[in-house]
Structure formats: structure tokens, C-alpha cells
């Protein structure tokens, strides 16, 4: 055998080996594809059976069991009719967020059943009255993660706003090492915007300054002082009038002496004497009362200290306040017990 014939035979054997390998791989792939197709067919058949079972349960009024069957069917059969029935069952049993999500997804699909479309829009609007939406502020970095009440709810950019039940929620926004956690009030039918950075809204107003404690004012000392000054003024006026009456009494005594009280012609003299005595007594009372009230004003100012800032630790302190009246003078205890 020549060298050329040997090379030809070698090439022929190589081709046969490659052809055999190719045929083997093709047969294996074909078998695997057929097995996969048969498996998919089996899954689809099982999902259709679950869907039919859900219809039967729905017809008997067993809505929660029907919802479970529809959910099992939807996991395999991504068909509009399956999704509509799942959302309707969720709405019936009170799964607000699940129904809202699935109706929103259903209404994005091409609509082939006008009755289903009309009902889906109506129920979706009803659910919207119980739901609040959370979205991210413009400029939020791509990949920013949003957690609502500890559960991952989405990642920027959000395909749709995050639906939550109306009410307060804890929202955590995270991007790399940056993290922001805050409670968020989510009103119904409103969209709340959250940001990775702090809010630009103005800070809350500062609380008003604390009011001074009752009693730590100038009212008591000032009132007592005014009464005291008025008393001294009245005493001075009555004193002057008493002096004038004494002069008048002396003139009457010289011009018309009175031998005894009640004698004829003594009435003017007795009236002048009574007037002078009354004015003198009133002057003394005015001076004494005015002095007492002025003293009380000084003492009350020293006790109450209206010029000082109240100390919270002294709020329960008991204070002695002088009291002056027509029948005498005394003191009173003021404080909180």
C-alpha cells in the first residue's frame, strides 16, 4: 500500500468517526428536547387542570380555595384569563395588595375580553381607594434598593410605584454604604416620594418658650404698693384737713366759749370738734394702712422674686405672702402640694 492510499484511508476513518459522533449528539439532543417538551406539556396540562378546578370551586362559592388553584395555575400558565381570575379571587377574599398588583399587570396586557376589561378597571379603581403608592425621587441612583416594613419592595429604576396599604410604614432606602430609614405616612390614593438623601423641607418650628410659673410676676407687689401709696396719700390729705379743722375749732372756742356740752349755742363748736377728731383718726389709719401695705409689697417681692427666672426644681416650693385687711394683718401660704 502506497503512502497516498494510507492517508486516504486515515481521512476516511476520521470522517466516519466524526459523523458517528455528530449523529450520536444529535440523537441525544433530540431525545432531550423531546423529553423537555413532554415535561412542559405535562406541566401545562397540570396547570390547566388546576385552573379548571379553580373555576369549579369559584362556582361553588369557595373563593379562597379557588384563589389557591388560580395561583398554582398562574405559576405555569402566563395567560390573561388565568391572571384575571386570580386577581378577581384575591379581590373577593380581601387580598388587597395581591389583587391590586395582578389587576395592574392584567390591564397592561392586550385585552381580548371586553367584559373582563370593564370589570378589571372597576375593581382596580375600588382597590386604589385603599392603597397608597411609594416612588423614588428623580435622580435616585440606579440599583437603589427600597424596603418597606423590612421586605424588599423594589430597586431603582422602579417599573411601577410600590403599592402599600394606606397608613404608616417604615421605608429603608439603601445604595451601597448609604442608607436612609424613616417612618412614612402613606395616605390613601396618594403617591409618596422618598429620597436617598435627607428631605429638603424646612425643619419643624421650635417650641414656644416656657411660660413663667404662676405667682412669679409683679402683680402682687405692685397691687400692694399701689394700695400702700394710696393709703399714705389719704392719710396726708386727712391730716391736712384735720389741721385745718383744729384751727377752725380754736377760733370758734375763742369767739363763743361753750360752758358745757349740749348748752345753747354749743352745737357749731361740737360739730367742729367731731369733724377734727374724725379727720385725725382717718389720717392715722391712712398712714398706718399705707405703711403696712408698702411693707407687704416689699415682703411679697422678696418672697416671690418676680425678677428671677423660675427654677423647675422650685415649682413645689411653699411661699409666705402677707395679707392685710380691715380687721387686721396676717399671712397666707401659697404653693403647690
Tell me the domain boundaries of the chain: 1-125, 129-198, 219-334
Asked whether the beta carbons of 292 and 325 are under 8 A apart, the reply is no
What proportion of the chain, given as a percentage, has pLDDT over 90? 42
Taking CA atoms, 70 is separated from 89, 98, 100, 157, 305, in Å, by: 8, 13, 16, 30, 80
| Between 235 and 284, residue with greater pLDDT | 284
Q: At residue 315, what are phi and psi to the nearest 5 degrees?
A: -65, -25
Cis before 95? omega within 30: no
CB 221 within 8 A of CB 306: yes
Most confident of 27-41, 159-173, 295-309: 159-173
d(C-alpha 317, C-alpha 335), whole Å: 6
**What is the residue whose three cell numbers read 500500500?**
1
Question: Mean pLDDT, to the nearest integer, of 231-236?
Answer: 70
- pLDDT tens for each residue of 10-57: 666 666 666 666 665 555 555 555 555 666 788 889 989 999 999 999
As a whole number, the mean pLDDT across the chain is 76
Pick the CATH number of 1-125 from 1.25.40.10, 1.10.240.10, 3.30.930.10, 3.20.20.210: 1.25.40.10
pLDDT in the model for residue 97: 95
- Interatomic CA distance for residues 223 and 207, integer angstroms: 33
Q: Is 188 a residue whose pLDDT tops 80?
A: yes
Shared fold status for 1-125 and 129-198 = no
* pLDDT over 70 at 134, yes or no: yes
Three cell numbers, residue 300 = 411679697
Parallel/antiparallel/unpaired status of strands 328-334 and 319-325? antiparallel
Instruction: Return d(Cα 272, Cα 270) in angstroms, integer.
Output: 5
Please give the Cα distance from 86 to 20 (Å, whole number). 51
Topology (CATH level 3) of domain 129-198: Immunoglobulin-like (2.60.40)
The upper half-sphere exposure of residue 40, i.e. CA atoms within 13 Å in the direction of its Cβ, equals: 6
Closest Cα partner for 125 from 189, 80, 187? 189
Identify the band that residue 201 occupies on the pLDDT scale cut at 50, 70 and 90.
very low
Strand order in the sheet with 167-175: 151-155, 145-148, 167-175, 178-186
> Structure pTM?
0.49
The answer to whether residue 200 scores a pLDDT higher than 50 is no
Amino acid at each position: 500500500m502506497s503512502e497516498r492510499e494510507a492517508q486516504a484511508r486515515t481521512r476516511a476513518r476520521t470522517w466516519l468517526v466524526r459523523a458517528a459522533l455528530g449523529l450520536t449528539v444529535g440523537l441525544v439532543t433530540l431525545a432531550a428536547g423531546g423529553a423537555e417538551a413532554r415535561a412542559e406539556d405535562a406541566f401545562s396540562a397540570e396547570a390547566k387542570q388546576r385552573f379548571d378546578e379553580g373555576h369549579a370551586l369559584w362556582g361553588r362559592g369557595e373563593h379562597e380555595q379557588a384563589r389557591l388553584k388560580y395561583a398554582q395555575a398562574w405559576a405555569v400558565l402566563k395567560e390573561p384569563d388565568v391572571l384575571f381570575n386570580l386577581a378577581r379571587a384575591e379581590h373577593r377574599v380581601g387580598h388587597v395588595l395581591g389583587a391590586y398588583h395582578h389587576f395592574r399587570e392584567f390591564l397592561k396586557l392586550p385585552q381580548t375580553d371586553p367584559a373582563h376589561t370593564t370589570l378589571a378597571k372597576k375593581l382596580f379603581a375600588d382597590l386604589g381607594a385603599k392603597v397608597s403608592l411609594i416612588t423614588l425621587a428623580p435622580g435616585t441612583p440606579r440599583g437603589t434598593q427600597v424596603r418597606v416594613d423590612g421586605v424588599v419592595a423594589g430597586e431603582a429604576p422602579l417599573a411601577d410605584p410600590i403599592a402599600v396599604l394606606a397608613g404608616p410604614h417604615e421605608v429603608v432606602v439603601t445604595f451601597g454604604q448609604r442608607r436612609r430609614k424613616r417612618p412614612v405616612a402613606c395616605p390613601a390614593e396618594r403617591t409618596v416620594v422618598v429620597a436617598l438623601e435627607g428631605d429638603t423641607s424646612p425643619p419643624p418650628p421650635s417650641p414656644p418658650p416656657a411660660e413663667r410659673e404662676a405667682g412669679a410676676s409683679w402683680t402682687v407687689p405692685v397691687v400692694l404698693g399701689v394700695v400702700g401709696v394710696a393709703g399714705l396719700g389719704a392719710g396726708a390729705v386727712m391730716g391736712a384737713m384735720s389741721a385745718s379743722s383744729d384751727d377752725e375749732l380754736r377760733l370758734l372756742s375763742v369767739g363763743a366759749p361753750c360752758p358745757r356740752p349740749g348748752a345753747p349755742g354749743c352745737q357749731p363748736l361740737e360739730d367742729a370738734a367731731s369733724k377734727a377728731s374724725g379727720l385725725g383718726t382717718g389720717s392715722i389709719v391712712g398712714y398706718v394702712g399705707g405703711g403696712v401695705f408698702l411693707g407687704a409689697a416689699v415682703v411679697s417681692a422678696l418672697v416671690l422674686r418676680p425678677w428671677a427666672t423660675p427654677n423647675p426644681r422650685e415649682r413645689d416650693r411653699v411661699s409666705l405672702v402677707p395679707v392685710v385687711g380691715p380687721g387686721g394683718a396676717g399671712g397666707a401660704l401659697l404653693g403647690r402640694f
